[in-house]
Structure formats: structure tokens, C-alpha cells
Amino acid sequence: MAKVNKNSRRNFIKGASLTGLAGMFTHASVAAEPKVEPSAKNLIFLVADGMGTGTLSLAHYWQLRNKGRPLNWMHLLERRGVRRALQGTASASSPVTDSAAAGSAWGCGQRVNNGSININPRGKSLEPLFVRAKKAGKVIGCVSTCRITHATPAAFVANVAHRDSEDVIAEQYLEREVDVLLGGGRRYFESSTGNRMDAFVKKGYAISKTLGDLQALSGQGGPLLGLYTDDHLPYALDRAQDRALAEIPGLEIMFEAALSRLSDSREGFLLQVEAGRIDHAGHVNDGAAILHEQLEFDRCIETALQFCERHPDTLLIVTSDHGTGGCQLNGAGEAYKNSGAALDGLNSMTASLEAIAGEVKRTGSLYRAYFKSVTGLDLPEEKVAVFNKAFLAGAEYPAGLLADTFKAELGLLTAVGWTSHNHTAEHVELAAIGPGASLIPPYLENYQLHGHICRALGI
Ligand SMILES: [Zn+2]
């Protein structure tokens, strides 16, 4: 979706001075660091992909209103020893990053161009964090609600000139022996190459295709490949509502399964867990879908903290790679007193716009009664006709078309507003706890995190 105009390169060269400034921050923080080297044995890296602070706040206020408690993310910030930081997210080619460049910044410690994974703008391949950790004797794992070959997990393991080379990324996972891979994206392991799944089996991987067999495999050691959909996993909102999706595990369950596989390694482990579809719901501008993705991610923070209490030699990092869509709960009504009630509007949405678009594709048309049954909204007939005309004309993103056509109605129902369907340049939150957390300065650029992680782990 990102279009690069002629000016962006020149404009970004202006931004190069920002890099120099960040270097000063690094220098200052090194001087202030403690002399005793921390020694984290394990790393749990939780990524809320595409989560701006507006999304975090939306989920926080929804949870306060509906469950009477704050998010686990907020609880984490109150813990003794936690380090909170603001993180810049620019890439080498733009102030607005994509997931490939943002993940690579963490993965290899350098800014790369949007679209590339651990290959810098001069074409040099840089060793990804997990490859380095594997050489140090640690086991490694990636869990995602996206295709497991998608940019963020790939950025911890792979080197490709373009993120779309997911077939190559799958091959590199095999060669580089990622010990646990759980998520979507079966098509890069089965249909596109025929026998890649067999190659994993030959290397000793257990294979999981359903929630049931993932649970049956629990408690066993050894490498594990679990792929539950050809493409991305369905949204948490749809998994909760649609019985047909019951055999697809959620992020929390996959995270727990990965922890149980990796945690008995004597040398320790590195595990990346990505709520990858916060980003997708942001691209679509789907308030209900983004809320439930964020809530699912937040439950993983609790799982991680419980693990860290039992394994205090674990460094936990919770962060995002960039914002997407500019999601915000807006002030609504006189003196904004309707904004609380507008959060309840999200509860009447029982299907994502993606699932609704899927139904439109199946039936060939959007029906008002169906839309009302899954959102509570009574749409004006003339606007439904406008949507159906655009849909039949071959709209590229029907879910985004739903969001755009019914922006006013959805905005009145939920008070959730958006800046665009694109990524944003906003700085993102980072929280870290455990050995090495104090190495992370209160302000950093994304590419600086890599060095702090390596130092914390002694790799
Ligand atoms: Zn991203």
C-alpha cells in the first residue's frame, strides 16, 4: 500500500541527521550503564505489529469499561524493575517504516530500506539475531498470527532482498533450523513446493495442523512446525465467534506451546511472538477487529510475566514496530460524554470487516439484514447500493471498501477514527523487564535495540 514519491528520497536524506542524533543518545546511555554485565539466558520478544498508542488506549479503556481492569501492558509498567522506552521507527528509505525494515532493525542492528529483510541499502547481508543466537547454542522460535513467513518473524531469522520472497524465507527457516514455528502460511510449505513439509519431518520436526494436535503434542521436546491456515490466521474476533474456526489455535495457545518446547534448553532460548494482525485491522480501519487482536496480544503479556517469574533469567521485551491507520477513540458528543458508550458499540460488532467481505464475496452482494446481524447497524439502502456497485466493479480490498463506504455509520457506532489505511511515523512504546532491561535507554531508535539485546544475552 505504500507509494513512494520522487521527493521521499531527498526528504529522507534530510532525516539522516536524526540518525546522528540517535548516535549521541547511545553514547550517553553507554556512559551511564552499570559495570556488571547482565546475563539473560532467554529472550521473549512480544510484538504488537502496527500498534500505535491510540490502539493501546482504545483497548485499555474498553477493558476498563467491560472487565473493570486495566490492560496487562499497563500493569507491566507498574512492576518494579521495568524499563519503559519511546522508540523511533524510521527505516533507511523513509520516516515511515514497513514491517520488514522495522523487524530488520531489531534483527540486524541497522536501518534497511522498506521491503528488505536484513540486507542493508548497499546490498550487504547482515547476520540476523536468531542465527547469531543459534550459533551460541540457544534454541529459537517464531510464533505469529500472520503467515509465519511474513516480514516480522522473518526479520529475526532470514536474509532476503524483498519480503515477498516468502518461499525463500521458508527455505531459510529449514536451513537455519528454527526450532519452533507456529502460525499461518501453510501454502509456502505445502502447495508451492510440494515437499517442503517432508523436508521438515526429515529434520525431526513434529508437525501440527490443528489445535487438537498441538495440545496432544504438549509436553514433548524437539523441533515443532505448526501451520494452521494457508494464509494468515483469522482475526481473534472471528475465531471467537465462528465455530468453524475452532481448530485454529489463538496466539496465546501457540505462545504457551512454544514456551513449553523451548524452555528446557540448557543454553536458553529466543522466542519472538507477533500479534501480526493488529496491523491488518489498522490497514482495513476495522475497530472491532483491532480491539480483539490487541486484547489477545495483551493476554500474552500475562503468560510471559508468569513464565518470567518462574524463570527470572528471562528478558521480556514488549513493543510494536510502527503504527498503522492512526487508530484513535475520538471524543464524541457534548463534552465527549458519548465516547464511553461508543466503546459498547464495538461489542455489537461480531464479525470483522474481512469476514463480512468474505460473506459478500460468497453471496455476490452485501445484504442489509446480514450486515445488521453482525454489526447492529441499519445501513441506508442507497449507500449499500453504492458499495455493491463498487464491489461488482472489482474493488481490490472489499474490507477496506466497507470501512470507507460506511465510515460515517461505523464512526457513529464506535467513535473509532482513522488517519489513513497506511502505516504512520509515530514513535512506539517499549517495555522491558528482566536481566538486561536496564541497558535499554528511555529513548532509542529501533536499530539500537539489537545491540542491547545481544549484550543482555551475552551473544
Ligand atoms: Zn509491522
Instruction: Give residue 274 CA to ligand 1 midpoint distance, Å.
Output: 9
Residues facing 46 on adjacent strands: 273, 318
Reported as type and span, the H/E element at residue 310 is helix 287-310
User: What are the Cα distances from residue 197, in Å, to 205, 324, 334?
Assistant: 9, 33, 58
Percent of the chain with pLDDT over 70: 91
How many C-beta atoms lie closer than 10 Å to residue 216's C-beta?
A: 12
Instruction: Give residue 152 CA to ligand 1 midpoint distance, Å.
Output: 7
245, 238 Cβ separation under 8 angstroms: yes
Instruction: Give residue 68 CA to ligand 1 midpoint distance, Å.
Output: 30
Give the span between the Cα atoms of 252 and 358, in whole angstroms: 25
State pLDDT tens for residues 105-156: 999 999 999 999 999 999 999 999 999 999 999 999 999 999 999 999 999 9
Q: Which three cell numbers stand for residue 36?
A: 556488571
Instruction: Give residue 97 CA to ligand 1 midpoint distance, Å.
Output: 8
Burial of 209 (0-12, 13-18, 19+ CB in 10 A): middle
For the chain, the average pLDDT equals 92
Give the span between the Cα atoms of 219 and 201, in whole angstroms: 19
Reported as type and span, the H/E element at residue 281 is helix 277-284
Instruction: Give residue 33 CA to ligand 1 midpoint distance, Å.
Output: 30
Give the span between the Cα atoms of 281 and 293, in whole angstroms: 8
State pLDDT tens for residues 175-189: 999 999 999 999 999
Q: Which of 96, 100, 145, 150 is nearest to 326 (CA)?
A: 96
Which residue carries 474493488 as its cell? 395
108, 129 Cβ separation under 8 angstroms: yes
- Angle subtended at Cα 225 by Cα 275 and Cα 302, rounded to the nearest 5 degrees: 35
Q: Which of 409, 456, 412 is nearest to 434 (CA)?
A: 456
Residue 24: its pLDDT value, please? 38
Instruction: Give residue 34 CA to ligand 1 midpoint distance, Å.
Output: 33
State pLDDT tens for residues 348-373: 999 999 999 999 999 999 999 999 99
Instruction: Give residue 447 CA to ligand 1 midpoint distance, Å.
Output: 15
State pLDDT tens for residues 400-458: 999 999 999 999 999 999 999 999 999 999 999 999 999 999 999 999 999 999 999 99
**Is the pLDDT at 13 greater than 80, yes or no?**
no
Instruction: Give residue 309 CA to ligand 1 midpoint distance, Å.
Output: 29
Residue 335: its pLDDT value, please? 96
Residue 220: its pLDDT value, please? 85
Question: 190 pLDDT band (50/70/90 cuts)?
Answer: confident
Residue 267: its pLDDT value, please? 96
**Is the pLDDT at 65 greater than 80, yes or no?**
yes
Mean pLDDT over 328-352 rounds to: 95
Percent of the chain with pLDDT over 90: 88
Residue 193: its pLDDT value, please? 54
Instruction: Give residue 364 CA to ligand 1 midpoint distance, Å.
Output: 32
Instruction: Give residue 218 CA to ligand 1 midpoint distance, Å.
Output: 30
Q: 38-327+421-457 in CATH: which number?
A: 3.40.720.10
Mean pLDDT over 388-397 rounds to: 93
b vs e for 336-352, b when ≥16 Cβ sit within 10 Å of the residue's Cβ? eeebbebbebbeebbbb
pTM over 0.85: yes
Q: Which of 223, 3, 226 is nearest to 94 (CA)?
A: 3
Q: Using CA of residue 196, residue 198, residue 202, residue 203, what is the dihedral sign?
A: positive
Instruction: Give residue 275 CA to ligand 1 midpoint distance, Å.
Output: 10
Q: Which of 220, 230, 239, 229 is nearest to 180 (CA)?
A: 220
Q: Which three cell numbers stand for residue 29?
A: 546511555
Inter-helix orientation angle 277-284/287-310, to 10°: 160
Give the span between the Cα atoms of 111 and 122, in whole angstroms: 11
Mean pLDDT over 280-306 rounds to: 98
Instruction: Give residue 35 CA to ligand 1 midpoint distance, Å.
Output: 35
- The full set of domain ranges for the chain reads 38-327+421-457, 332-417
Instruction: Give residue 113 CA to ligand 1 midpoint distance, Å.
Output: 14
Cα 161–chain centre separation: 21
Question: 191 pLDDT band (50/70/90 cuts)?
Answer: low
Strand, coil or helix: what is 225?
A: strand
Question: 35 pLDDT band (50/70/90 cuts)?
Answer: low
Q: Which residue has the higher pLDDT, 11 or 63?
A: 63
Instruction: Give residue 321 CA to ligand 1 midpoint distance, Å.
Output: 5
Question: 192 pLDDT band (50/70/90 cuts)?
Answer: low
How many C-beta atoms lie closer than 10 Å to residue 377's C-beta?
A: 17
Instruction: Give residue 387 CA to ligand 1 midpoint distance, Å.
Output: 29
Residue 244: its pLDDT value, please? 92
Reported as type and span, the H/E element at residue 414 is helix 407-414
* DSSP character string of 4-33: --THHHHHHHHTHHHHHHHHHHHHHHHHHS
Instruction: Give residue 363 CA to ligand 1 midpoint distance, Å.
Output: 32
Burial of 1 (0-12, 13-18, 19+ CB in 10 A): exposed
| Pairing mode of beta strands 328-329, 428-433 | unpaired
Instruction: Give residue 19 CA to ligand 1 midpoint distance, Å.
Output: 21
Strand, coil or helix: what is 318?
A: strand
Q: Which three cell numbers stand for residue 386?
A: 453504492
Question: Residues with Cβ < 8 Å from 321, sequence gap 6 or more?
Answer: 47, 49, 50, 89, 97, 99, 102, 103, 152, 428, 446
Task: Give phi and psi for 105, each to the nearest 5.
Answer: -55, -45
